[in-house]
Structure 1
Amino acid sequence: MRSVLERMARLGRPPLHSLPPDQARAAYQAGAEVLEVPRAELARVEDLHIPARDGASLPARLYAPTLDAGLPLLLFLHGGGFTIGSVATHDVLCRELARLGRCMVVSLDYRLAPEHRFPTAVHDSWDALRWLAAQATQLGADGSRLAVGGDSAGGTLAAVSALLARDAGLALALQLLIYPGTTAHQDTPSHTRFAHGLVLDQPAIAWFFEQYVGHGPEREDWRFAPLLAHDLEGAAPAWVALAELDPLVDEGVDYADRLRAAGVPVDIEIYRGVTHEFIKMGRALPEARQFHQDAGRALRQAFATD
């Protein structure tokens, strides 16, 4: 991990938060697969569109490891501070989740800030989950075995979607939360301890959230900060993956603790010695490859395919 950080520093590229959003997206895309494992070949990969409540058509990509009908289905929501990231930046990861989880994965291009501020990403994620539940059979999936997951901002959206699913009576087998953001004000000790120099830093977090939610009353909305949700009882079982050297690690632990206290089954893995974004560094970090295996196992167990 130290070697990765040193190589990143030697490149001397401007930090993403110093760029306009469109340039930040292009820069993130350009580096998205530099340290990824090789792209897995799957039996089925196809692009589709999912309708949103306001009439928008949201791009998405479907991955399946086989052509068999009745595969369980994971909706995946990418990270990027609600401002950058896309289906393309998380293509390799979603292929690994489909391959190792033995499930269909649908990765969603929810709309990004600042063009689309809070709660658009929440609405898009929930609209996609409801649509997939209704269309599962037509897609070749098993609508009785659904899960939602995501990394970072996508982990936030996955946690929120799991609560919305509970409220709507939509049963989920799993919420796969990868270093999710869950606090309103980024005031846990790990935000201070890892504020600078470790991939995701305090200036970047502040910039992302300025684009997405600002400093108004939306900050206190549980759909931005799931730790503020009044009741977590009855949410889907959770598998929570965290990075030890990450500003978000404390709030991930806090959210896992609150889920467990509410009677939700929770498994948590804290990957030692790695930073935010480590899951996309499989060429360099054995911990990333271990994460892939662990996440695949969690999906298989939740879907009862093991």
Structure 2
Amino acid sequence: MSESTKVALPAGIRAQRLVMRAVGKLPAPVVGALGRLAPTNAAGDRIDPVLASVALAADKVPAFDMYDADPTRARRKIDVSSAMLAPVHPPFAVDEDVVIDGPAGPIPATRLRAGTASRGIVVYFHGGGWTIGSRASHDGPARDLAVDAGVDVLNVDYRLAPEHPFPAAADDALAAWRYAVDHAAEWGVDPDAIVVAGDSAGGNLAAVVSQLTRGEKVVPALQLLIYPAVDLAGETPSRTEFATGRFLTKKHMDWFIDNYVPDVAERADPKASPMRAADLSGLPPAHVVVAGFDPLRDEGIAYAQALRDAGVPVTLDRAGSMIHGFFNMTMISPAARESARRAARAVAERLDADD
């Protein structure tokens, strides 16, 4: 296993992990009974009771809160909490660290392949508000995707704010895409079989790369946008409805956006807010995932519709019972696992269709 994605868990966290694994194995009738007591949102969705408890912990327990005045401390917290919830996989056939030649220096990344064969490559950008998160914090979702879609996953450690504000992350994401294109043949993969993907801030970067590469000889076969942040200059009803208490809050969003794009005038730039692009035609097909209890829900839905209106093929997975970040919670939530599998199927089907 890549040393760069290993996270040492303190004894107390290891104990919590055992509890979480047990929760993830609760019988369906028990989860269903708990679910009938769970709150609903304005759209009538009922929150997954297991994820509701995670959201409560994030709201009440400092160790689970993504916000911290010290970004370094916040990054450590998300690495540990994500590792606590990460699924266990057998050893991978390919599990290697690589270094990408970025616009401002080396960009670390890890390439994963579960088996001997691969349909293609997914260039994956982790979430974390362009401020926290890493290839270690998102090693679980990356491995799930590699296994379920039968692909290589290039898990990218792009530069983070506030040390490296906009457009550093977007520039690194584009460099990582070009690296995958240049190395696909070396890895035994067709350069036309490359998907760009990410969750939250990473979904933003995947959408941006899809726009920046439009018209080039090699473009993404699919853009997989998992609860993406696509409009840093706007407001939506879901941002108001879920401003507090659901893992990602208004406090977090304000902190992330202030760190990444401190100049308010730049927040409407399509390189920061892909929703604001004047023309969305000719972009790669998209699979968009949104969570029912997520401040980013409505902008994800709106971006999917805007892509459709521009003639782009789109599938939209409305995971109504989920909270933000649920692709990191597949170990404890069967519904989260099913949505992740649907995303992987979308990748596999698109790559198979292009054979």
Kept after mapping to 1: 8 A contact 2:203/2:225: yes
The worse-fitting range, judged by mean Cα deviation, of 104-113 and 214-223 is 214-223
User: Counterparts of 1:50 and 1:26 in 2: how far apart (Å)?
Assistant: 23
Map 1:153-168; keep pairs closer than 5 Å.
153-168=201-216
> Does 2:232 match 1:187?
no
Over the matched positions of the two proteins, sequence identity in percent amounts to 38
User: Counterparts of 2:325 and 2:64 in 1: how far apart (Å)?
Assistant: 18
More strand by share: 1
Alignment partner of 1:208 out of 256, 263, 275:
256
Alpha-carbon displacement from aligned partner over 1:51-90 (angstroms, at most 9, x marks no partner): 1123x1110000112233x641110000000000111111
Aligned partner of 1:47 in structure 2 is 97
Alpha-carbon displacement from aligned partner over 1:258-299 (angstroms, at most 9, x marks no partner): 000000000000112211011111222112110221111111
Gaps of 5+ in 2: 1-50
Q: Look up the SS of the partner of 1:192 in the other structure.
A: helix
CA apart distance, 1:135: 1.6
Q: How has the CA–CA distance of structure 1 residues 45 and 86 changed in structure 2, closer, same or farther, with 3 Å as cutoff?
A: same
Aligned partner of 1:137 in structure 2 is 185
User: Counterparts of 1:22 and 1:167 in 2: how far apart (Å)?
Assistant: 39
The worse-fitting range, judged by mean Cα deviation, of 259-268 and 32-41 is 32-41
Q: Look up the SS of the partner of 2:131 in the other structure.
A: coil
Kept after mapping to 1: 8 A contact 2:246/2:294: yes
User: Counterparts of 1:268 and 1:14 in 2: how far apart (Å)?
Assistant: 29
Q: Look up the SS of the partner of 2:186 in the other structure.
A: helix
Kept after mapping to 2: 8 A contact 1:97/1:296: yes
Q: Look up the SS of the partner of 1:79 in the other structure.
A: coil
- Report the AA paired with residue 347 of structure 2: L
Alignment partner of 1:78 out of 126, 143, 154:
126
Alpha-carbon displacement from aligned partner over 1:10-54 (angstroms, at most 9, x marks no partner): 644373323311111011111112223223432111110011123
Q: Look up the SS of the partner of 2:176 in the other structure.
A: helix
Aligned partner of 1:264 in structure 2 is 312
User: Counterparts of 2:222 and 2:144 in 1: how far apart (Å)?
Assistant: 17
CA apart distance, 1:229: 0.4
Gaps of 5+ in 1: none
User: Counterparts of 1:15 and 1:41 in 2: how far apart (Å)?
Assistant: 31
> Does 2:165 match 1:101?
no
Q: CA RMSD in A?
A: 1.7
Which has the higher Rg, Structure 1 or Structure 2? 2
Aligned partner of 2:333 in structure 1 is 285
Alignment partner of 1:198 out of 227, 239, 246:
246
User: Counterparts of 2:295 and 2:269 in 1: how far apart (Å)?
Assistant: 21
User: Counterparts of 2:90 and 2:260 in 1: how far apart (Å)?
Assistant: 33
> Does 2:295 match 1:247?
yes
Alignment partner of 2:273 out of 217, 225, 234:
225
Alignment partner of 1:173 out of 221, 224, 242:
221
Map 1:52-63; keep pairs closer than 5 Å.
52-54=102-104, 56-63=105-112
Q: Look up the SS of the partner of 1:166 in the other structure.
A: coil
Aligned residues: 304
Kept after mapping to 2: 8 A contact 1:174/1:238: yes
Alpha-carbon displacement from aligned partner over 1:130-180 (angstroms, at most 9, x marks no partner): 121122111232212111000000000000101112143423210000000
User: Counterparts of 1:71 and 1:136 in 2: how far apart (Å)?
Assistant: 11
> Does 2:51 match 1:13?
no
CA apart distance, 1:128: 1.1
Aligned partner of 2:167 in structure 1 is 119
Alpha-carbon displacement from aligned partner over 1:89-129 (angstroms, at most 9, x marks no partner): 11111111011101111011001001111001111000111
Alignment partner of 1:110 out of 158, 166, 176:
158
Kept after mapping to 2: 8 A contact 1:40/1:96: no
Alignment partner of 2:73 out of 1, 4, 23:
23
User: Counterparts of 1:74 and 1:102 in 2: how far apart (Å)?
Assistant: 10
Kept after mapping to 1: 8 A contact 2:59/2:246: no
The worse-fitting range, judged by mean Cα deviation, of 147-156 and 181-190 is 181-190
- Report the AA paired with residue 122 of structure 2: L
Kept after mapping to 1: 8 A contact 2:130/2:169: yes
Q: Look up the SS of the partner of 2:208 in the other structure.
A: helix
Q: Look up the SS of the partner of 2:155 in the other structure.
A: strand
Aligned partner of 2:40 in structure 1 is none
Q: Look up the SS of the partner of 1:256 in the other structure.
A: helix
Kept after mapping to 1: 8 A contact 2:243/2:250: yes
